[in-house]
Amino acid sequence: MLDREREALLKERSKLRLTELEARTHEEVWALKVAQAEEDTAEARTDAERTAEEAGRQRETFQKTLRALQAALDQKDEALRESEESNAVLRSELVDAASKFGAEKASIEERLREAETAAEVRREEAARAEREAEEARRRLDRRTKEKKRLSREVSAMQKEVQDVYRNNERGIKVARILDHIDNID
């Protein structure tokens, strides 16, 4: 009977240790996921800043190009007023440059929106991972309390077993003494 109880107790202890290890492992995994999500968020933020800087440089380049084209147009306008065809070519180039800039600007803004969306998703994933880690911590705390309770019960049972064993030994000694007394007669 005691062997079964001990065996059951050992099994429970093993299960508890495995559960604790599993909880620690899950907590570490979630911590890694949170760290990865933070790194990804920082990387996305860096990419967004880099994209914004690139857009700024492109705007400056475009503004410089636009100013240079405007100056060239003004200079050539006087020289080429008589030639309407040349004028149409210059206007066409200006429209192409403006449409190219508009398309590039739209593309950059789209990438920026995607980066912001991805960063938001990563923040949500990090929050969810944090909630799951907190739940795992709570489960671990509950299991730890249960382990302590079971440990106290085991100690009490061990004391009871020792008391029973001591009482049994006393009974055996008394029986021997009585046997000796009976043999003396």
As given in the structure block, the two tokens for residue 2 are 């005691």
Q: Check if the beta carbon of residue 80 is closer than 8 Å to that of residue 86.
A: yes
Q: Is the pLDDT of residue 26 over 60?
A: yes
pLDDT digits (tens, 9 = 90+) for 133-159: 899 899 989 988 988 888 888 888 888
| Contacts made by residues 61-66, CB under 8 angstroms, sequence distance 24+ | 62/97, 62/101, 65/97, 66/97
Position 64 pLDDT exceeds 60: yes
pLDDT in tens, 65-75: 888 888 887 88
Q: What structural domains does the chain harbor?
A: 2-184 (1.10.287)
pTM of the entire predicted model? 0.32
The 10 Å CB-count burial string (b at 16+, else e) for 22-39 is ebeebbeebeebbeebee
Classified as helix, coil or strand, 80 is coil
Average pLDDT over all residues of the chain: 84
Residues 6+ apart with CB under 8 A from 136: 23, 26, 27, 30
pLDDT tens readout for residues 96-147: 888 888 888 889 899 889 989 998 998 998 899 899 989 989 998 998 898 8
Residue 78 has pLDDT above 80, yes or no: no
Spatial CB neighbours of 93, under 8 Å, sequence gap ≥ 6: 69
